[in-house]
């Protein structure tokens, strides 16, 4: 699935798979459907908590009562609710940046619980390296994020360490909501050569405003994911969420075939995509180095 679609499902609590013979087939009270998969009947039950955390817990408890065979929980709050609801039913997670910090598993290599799946931890180090590759003379980068989002703090800490190794100094600007973005960006403009935007819900909702301020100051924005580039950022080397979804599905198949989730490592994305926004480069009057352009998976021209 595309990142834009995946983002709308970030609050999806669970997708459960009920194999034929494991109970009565039925449609869920949201959107259930029976399909054919490898010759077996499977029922998919989709539940959406609409960004309300208490609702994620209610949905998780209902799925446990239904005795589903597997729960797929998307994003940290949904994963935590599912894990709180059951220690027995296998739980597949995805779009969880740090499953260990979230208390879902003991380690990525050996979860040790009924939880496994994939993490969408950004390739932050590689993204900071991309800034230096596009702007070899850069010395200072700005990072704007919501400090109340634990996943954002984790990414920023990695970015600081990665930048230090490249001789870059990081200037931080934190926001509590999108209304604070403009002021926070203005505070960075006279200090930095580029802006880095991590995967952060507040940043995602205000990416157009971030890019506008940066463009007005002729400062490029390097985003952590595709949505940032669609919003006007210059480039991103990030996760392809469609491929991450397929990767998660392969892990699910292993569980449904009998493997113990406790022994299946949490996987990071195996496929990164480099996307360049040529229109943004023109606005900035910036020439993207040929080695970067030549390996781009996609170049946005409009």
281 alpha carbon, distance to own chain's centre: 25
How far apart, in whole angstroms, are the C-alpha atoms of residue 56 and residue 43?
20
Does residue 82 share a domain with residue 174? no
SS3 94: strand
**Could you tell me which of 148, 71, 156, 157 has the C-alpha nearest to residue 114?**
71
Residue found under tokens 């006279």:
190
Does residue 285 share a domain with residue 202? yes
Dihedrals phi, psi of 194, to nearest 5 degrees? -160, 160
DSSP class of residue 19? E
Does residue 178 share a domain with residue 147? yes
- Cβ neighbours around 105 below 10 Å, total: 27
Does residue 249 share a domain with residue 232? no
**Could you tell me which of 206, 204, 199, 156 has the C-alpha nearest to residue 181?**
206
DSSP class of residue 194? E
How far apart, in whole angstroms, are the C-alpha atoms of residue 228 and residue 132?
19
Q: β-strand 71-74 against 115-119: which pairing, if any?
A: unpaired
Does residue 43 share a domain with residue 101? yes
Does residue 278 share a domain with residue 163? yes
Does residue 250 share a domain with residue 233? no
Residue found under tokens 């995509």:
273
Does residue 176 share a domain with residue 68? no
Does residue 184 share a domain with residue 138? yes
Does residue 154 share a domain with residue 138? yes
Average pLDDT, consecutive stretches of 10 residues, N- to C-terminus, the chain (302 residues): 30 33 36 46 83 89 93 91 96 92 96 96 95 97 93 93 97 95 97 95 93 98 94 94 90 94 95 95 96 96 82
Q: What tokens appear for 31 in the block? A: 């959107």
**Could you tell me which of 168, 188, 74, 187 has the C-alpha nearest to residue 127?**
168
Q: What tokens appear for 285 in the block? A: 């009057």
Tally the domains of the chain: 2
CATH number at residue 152: 3.40.50.2300
DSSP class of residue 189? T
* The dihedral sign for the CA sequence 236, 199, 109, 262: negative
- Long-range CB pairs of 46-55 (<8 Å, 24+ gap) are 46/12, 46/15, 47/12, 47/13, 47/14, 48/9, 48/11, 48/12, 48/13, 49/11, 49/12, 49/13, 49/78, 50/11, 51/11, 52/11, 53/77, 53/81, 55/13
How far apart, in whole angstroms, are the C-alpha atoms of residue 87 and residue 94?
18
Domain hosting residue 250, numbered range: 3-120+240-263
Report how far apart the first and last C-alpha atoms of the chain are (Å, whole number). 22
Does residue 155 share a domain with residue 253? no
**Could you tell me which of 142, 120, 171, 153 has the C-alpha nearest to residue 6?**
120
Does residue 254 share a domain with residue 174? no
The whole-number pLDDT of residue 187 equals: 97
């Amino acid at each position: 699935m595309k990142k834009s679609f995946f983002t709308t499902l970030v609050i999806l609590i669970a997708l459960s798979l009920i194999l034929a013979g494991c109970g009565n087939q039925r449609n869920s009270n949201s959107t259930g459907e029976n399909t054919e998969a490898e010759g077996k009947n499977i029922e998919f039950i989709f539940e959406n908590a609409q960004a309300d955390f208490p609702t994620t817990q209610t949905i998780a408890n209902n799925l446990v009562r239904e005795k589903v065979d597997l729960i797929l929980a998307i994003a940290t709050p949904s994963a935590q609710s599912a894990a709180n609801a059951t220690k027995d039913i296998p739980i597949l997670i995805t779009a969880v940046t740090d499953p260990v910090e979230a208390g879902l598993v003991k380690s990525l290599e050996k979860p040790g619980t009924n939880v496994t799946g994939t993490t969408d931890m950004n390739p932050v180090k590689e993204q900071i390296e991309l800034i230096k590759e596009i702007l070899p003379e850069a010395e200072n980068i700005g990072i704007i994020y919501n400090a109340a989002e634990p996943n954002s703090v984790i990414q920023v800490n990695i970015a600081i360490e990665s930048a230090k190794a490249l001789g870059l100094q990081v200037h931080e600007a934190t926001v509590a909501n999108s209304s604070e973005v403009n002021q926070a960006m203005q505070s960075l403009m006279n200090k930095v050569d580029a802006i880095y935007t991590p995967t952060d819900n507040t940043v995602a909702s205000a990416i157009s405003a971030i890019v506008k301020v940066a463009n007005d100051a002729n400062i490029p924005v390097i985003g952590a994911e595709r949505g940032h580039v669609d919003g006007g950022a210059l480039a991103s080397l990030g996760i392809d969420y469609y491929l991450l979804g397929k990767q998660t599905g392969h892990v699910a198949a292993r569980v449904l075939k009998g493997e113990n989730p406790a022994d299946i490592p949490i996987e990071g994305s195996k496929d990164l995509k480099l996307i360049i926004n040529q229109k943004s480069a023109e606005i900035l009057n910036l020439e993207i180095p040929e080695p970067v352009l030549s390996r781009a998976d996609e170049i946005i021209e409009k």
